[in-house]
Amino acid sequence: MTAFQAIESERTSSVPFSPSGDDYLHLFERVEIQVRSEAHLRAHQLAVSQQVEPIRIDNLKGDFWPDDESADDFLTWLETIRKEDAHRSVPE
């Protein structure tokens, strides 16, 4: 039963029902779980249809900075580049 069907079933029931705040909270939690599950399934199906493969973290590793230079050297270089870019972007 989908979340929508559960809501409709409760709404159209001939038995008088006066839900409490906890009942609503429980229903919203069930709906959220169902919606997320359906969204994950759609995303998975889309990935399969587009032949998307998972990303490997190792593939994202950059190797643009020499191993013999420290993180402080990198941050100093980065700050210098940003200052140069900021200086170039100011109209004269």
Highest mean pLDDT: which of 11-25, 52-66, 72-86?
72-86
Say whether 14 sits in a helix, a strand or coil.
Answer: coil
- What local confidence, expressed as pLDDT, does residue 46 receive? 93
Tens-place pLDDT, residues 14-55: 666 677 888 888 888 988 998 999 999 999 999 999 999 888
Predicted model pTM: 0.39
Classify residue 52 as left (phi > 0), alpha (psi -120 to 50) or beta: beta
81's enclosing H/E stretch is: helix 71-89
Please tell me what DSSP assigns to residue 16.
-
Confidence bin at 9 (pLDDT 50/70/90): confident
What residue segments make up the domains of the chain, in order of their start? 3-49, 57-89
